[in-house]
């Protein structure tokens, strides 16, 4: 039996040769919910959304790269039973790309090819400067950011159980502004508040006793970001274009504990759907929704 071929590797040369592309990078500490966010979005696209979903198999130097398909298969098999996918491994070689194409099946006709960049939180932490050490990012990730033909959506993941979010995001922006001048013009920035109920509880715990939020609505989200991530709030609110910003909670649905393991019992796709609609709008200039004719006749339930 012939030995298996070495799997194709994503290289800086492969990335720098591209003449276009739409990339989504979820950024945050280990445990902030990056893999959960991306895998749950794929689960929505595959099983719920008004889209035809197709995994793309990119050609590398030594052949087709099936890793994206393997990653998605693993994610979907987990979500089928309500289990949460495993975090991305920490090795630099495990900067992985999941590329796919989506086409609307109802409403306005839109199509887009998107690449999720799967990067571990341990690698992303290297953007924090330390005494005697300059901040840096992995070589492949730098290659993506250096390519002027690529567009980016940067999702900053805020988990209320993880400290230091503000310092991480502010350090990232300082690093990007220094090493990649002008990159902000090609980036749309979204901020995701994971564990909305925990965010609400923390906000009320540290808020003025006369100000008690009953739900994590827009005012509460802004208050949370301003209170616990002040630098990030300033970066987000002063972004070059308000149309290229998003602030949203991420509620997944009802979660229960089974044999000591969290299980998603009843998925709720409302937040992930609205975030994906915004992402499509950043890359195509148009948001999924009813056609002109559907709006004219009042058919707003276009899905």
Q: What is the pLDDT of residues 59-88, one digit of tens each?
A: 887 788 899 999 999 999 999 999 999 987
Distance CA 173, CA 87 (A): 24
Give the pLDDT score at 32. Answer: 93
Model confidence at 210: pLDDT above 90: no
- Nearest partner of 179 among 141, 211, 207, 218, judged by Cα: 141
Give the pLDDT score at 93. Answer: 58
Answer whether residue 6 is part of any domain: no
pLDDT band for position 2 (cuts 50, 70, 90): very low
DSSP state of 153: E
Q: What percent of the chain has pLDDT over 70?
A: 94
For the beta carbon of residue 290, count every other beta carbon within 10 angstroms.
Answer: 18
Q: Tell me what the mean pLDDT of segment 293-300 comes to.
A: 75
pLDDT band for position 3 (cuts 50, 70, 90): very low
Q: Tell me what the mean pLDDT of segment 131-159 comes to.
A: 94
CATH number at residue 115: 3.40.50.300
Distance CA 261, CA 220 (A): 30
Distance CA 41, CA 58 (A): 21
Partners of 51 in beta bridges: 104
Which of the pair, 85 or 290, is modelled with greater confidence? Answer: 85
Contacts of 152 (CB under 8 A, 6+ apart): 23, 24, 25, 144, 145, 183, 186, 187, 188
Model confidence at 211: pLDDT above 90: no
Answer whether residue 250 is part of any domain: yes
Q: Looking at the 3D structure of the chain, how many domains does it have?
A: 1
pTM of the model: 0.93
With beta carbons less than 8 A apart as the criterion, state whether 159 and 192 touch.
no
Cα–Cα distances in Å, from 157 out to 5, 194, 246? 36, 7, 12
Give the pLDDT score at 59. Answer: 87
With beta carbons less than 8 A apart as the criterion, state whether 117 and 152 touch.
no
**What is the C-alpha end-to-end distance of the chain, expressed in Å?**
50
pLDDT band for position 91 (cuts 50, 70, 90): low
Which of the pair, 159 or 9, is modelled with greater confidence? Answer: 159
Cα–Cα distances in Å, from 51 out to 197, 222, 269, 274, 293? 30, 31, 14, 14, 20
Contacts of 118 (CB under 8 A, 6+ apart): 35, 38, 71, 88, 94, 95, 96, 97, 98
Q: Tell me what the mean pLDDT of segment 290-303 comes to.
A: 76
Give the pLDDT score at 215. Answer: 94
Answer whether residue 303 is part of any domain: no
- Nearest partner of 145 among 91, 195, 193, 185, judged by Cα: 185
Average pLDDT taken over every residue of the chain: 91
The region that residue 82 occupies, defined by phi over 0 for left and psi between -120 and 50 for alpha, beta otherwise, is: left
Give the pLDDT score at 292. Answer: 81
Range(s) of the domain holding residue 164: 22-296
Model confidence at 90: pLDDT above 70: no
Both structure tokens of 250: 């991420």
Question: Which has the minimum average pLDDT: 88-92, 202-206, 213-217?
Answer: 88-92
């Amino acid at each position: 039996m012939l030995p298996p071929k070495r799997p194709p590797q994503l290289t800086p040369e492969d990335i720098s040769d591209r003449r276009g592309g739409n990339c989504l990078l979820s950024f945050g500490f280990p445990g902030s919910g990056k893999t959960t966010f991306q895998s749950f979005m794929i689960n929505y696209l595959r099983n719920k959304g008004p889209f035809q979903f197709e995994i793309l198999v990119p050609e590398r130097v030594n052949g087709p790269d099936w890793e994206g398909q393997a990653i998605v298969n693993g994610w979907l098999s987990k979500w089928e039973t309500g289990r949460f996918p495993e975090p991305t491994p920490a090795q630099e070689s495990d900067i992985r790309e999941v590329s796919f194409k989506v086409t609307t099946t109802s409403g306005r006709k839109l199509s887009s090819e998107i690449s999720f960049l799967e990067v571990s939180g341990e690698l992303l932490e290297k953007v924090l400067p330390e005494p005697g050490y300059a901040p840096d990012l992995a070589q492949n990730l730098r290659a993506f950011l250096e390519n002027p033909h690529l567009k980016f959506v940067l999702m900053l993941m805020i988990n209320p159980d993880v400290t230091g979010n503000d310092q991480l995001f502010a350090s990232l922006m300082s690093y990007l502004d220094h090493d990649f001048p002008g990159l902000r013009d090609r980036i749309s920035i979204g901020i995701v508040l994971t564990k909305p109920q925990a965010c609400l509880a923390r906000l009320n715990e540290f808020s003025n006793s006369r100000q008690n939020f009953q739900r994590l609505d827009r005012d509460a989200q802004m208050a949370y970001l301003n209170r616990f991530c002040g630098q990030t709030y300033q970066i987000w609110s002063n972004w070059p274009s308000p149309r290229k910003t998003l602030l949203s909670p991420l509620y997944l649905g009802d979660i229960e504990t089974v044999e000591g393991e969290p299980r998603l019992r009843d998925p709720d796709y409302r937040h992930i759907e609205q975030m994906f609609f915004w992402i499509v709008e950043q890359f195509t200039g148009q948001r999924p929704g009813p056609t002109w004719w559907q709006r004219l006749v009042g058919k707003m339930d276009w899905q």
